[in-house]
Amino acid sequence: MMANYLNKLGLIKWFSELIQTNIASYGFGWGLSVAILVLVYFYAHYFFASTTAHVTAMFAAFYAAALLLGAPPLYTALLMAAASSLMMTLTHYATGTAPVIFGSGYVPLGDWWKMGFIMSIVNLSVWVVAGSLWWKVLGYW
């Protein structure tokens, strides 16, 4: 429901256009533009309690913004799909199973957020750096 209302109210379209316009105004190439879009898309998950709601609300808008900035379609789709699965480690409410695991009491809230952020950097580094190089070898961009 949240994703539907965010889209109905035009918030996601406005937000993605704002980011796309700002990135375009700096004249960055498509590579840096996509990196910025993926980072904003990824870390916006702090504001969502559902991966499905986040992807439903934001994926298409950010994908379209990346394409308007000159990004290759398949590469961008793969990168955003990877980010969509990796963002589930960010918080104790980032996905449906996280509250159950958090509720066990083994990991304090501060540790969860700190380690979630650290792992997000590790995961994004592997997927964006190593993954992009591999996707280039495979001819995806």
Expressed as residue numbers, the domain containing 112 is: 2-138
Nearest to 3 by CA among 47, 41, 52: 52
How does pLDDT run across 60-113, given as a tens digit for each residue? 889 999 998 999 999 999 899 999 999 888 888 888 888 888 888 888 999 999
Quote the number of domains for the chain.
1
Token code pair at residue 27: 């004249």
How does pLDDT run across 22-32, given as a tens digit for each residue? 888 888 889 99
How does pLDDT run across 112-129, given as a tens digit for each residue? 999 999 999 999 999 888
Whole-model pTM? 0.84
User: Residue 20 in contact with residue 69, Cβ under 8 Å?
Assistant: yes
